[in-house]
Amino acid sequence: MIRFLLVFVMLAGTAGAVVAYGDPDQIARASHRVSHMFRGPAASLTPAPAVQIQRGQGGEFALRAKINGVAAPMVIDTGATSVVLTWETAKAIGLPLEMLEYDVDLETAGGHTKAARLTIDRLAVGHLVEKSVPALVVQRGQMKINLLGMSFLDRLESWGVRSDTLMLTGYPELQSSHRRSRTAVD
């Protein structure tokens, strides 16, 4: 009974904090804590997955991601609201390009263009994997490189630059202690 009351107080406190502050990061952390309490001592958090990316000679942070299982070069772009794919990458991934509507106005380093909205089923950067990621595809020949924008970065627990290294950190996962092996991620 005491445990039930403790859980109830924690949930009420979390709900109050959500209403008062509305901070999505705090909401996610509170959710992890409450889930951990419900699962009891048989559950534990695995360490948060993290990826380090070195700054390139041109000052950019370039990487190879896997989009729906297909490797694709990308550049981190915190100024891009969304993940943005080139038409050529979208074709290589097997996205239904003939069904897309290019009705989103987009400003790129090369100027104004049109893009189409879509959702990427799975986007992996090392051990960081996100599903159902909103993205844009630009028309053929409008961009040379894919952009890893905020529609991916906002899903991480944190990201930041220190010296010439960008660190991307995901959320720890709740694992049951009776699970002995962890499946490999890209």
User: What confidence tens digit (pLDDT) does each residue in 33-74 have?
Assistant: 655 555 555 455 678 889 999 999 999 999 999 999 999 999
Let me know if residue 14 belongs to a domain.
Answer: yes
Same domain, 29 and 56: no
pLDDT of residue 109: 77
For the chain, list residues with pLDDT below 70: 1-45, 174-186
pLDDT of residue 136: 97
pLDDT of residue 86: 96
Same domain, 101 and 55: yes
- Give the chain's mean pLDDT: 81
Closest listed residue to residue 185, CA positions, set 119, 121, 130, 120: 130
Let me know if residue 182 belongs to a domain.
Answer: no
pLDDT of residue 108: 80
- Structural domain total, the chain: 2
pLDDT of residue 104: 95
- Alpha-helical runs (H) found in the chain: 2-21, 24-39, 87-93, 150-153
Let me know if residue 119 belongs to a domain.
Answer: yes
Secondary structure of residue 108 in the 3-state scheme = strand
pLDDT of residue 23: 57
Let me know if residue 175 belongs to a domain.
Answer: no
pLDDT of residue 111: 84
Say whether pTM exceeds 0.75.
no
Same domain, 72 and 133: yes
| Placement of tokens 């720890």 in the chain | 172
Same domain, 21 and 59: no
Let me know if residue 176 belongs to a domain.
Answer: no
Let me know if residue 40 belongs to a domain.
Answer: yes
Same domain, 19 and 67: no
pLDDT of residue 179: 38
Same domain, 164 and 75: yes
pLDDT of residue 52: 96
What is the C-alpha to C-alpha distance for residues 131 and 121, in angstroms, rounded to an integer?
Answer: 5
What is the C-alpha to C-alpha distance for residues 36 and 45, in angstroms, rounded to an integer?
Answer: 8
pLDDT of residue 186: 41
Domain that holds residue 34: 2-45
Same domain, 22 and 78: no
pLDDT of residue 2: 66
Let me know if residue 114 belongs to a domain.
Answer: yes
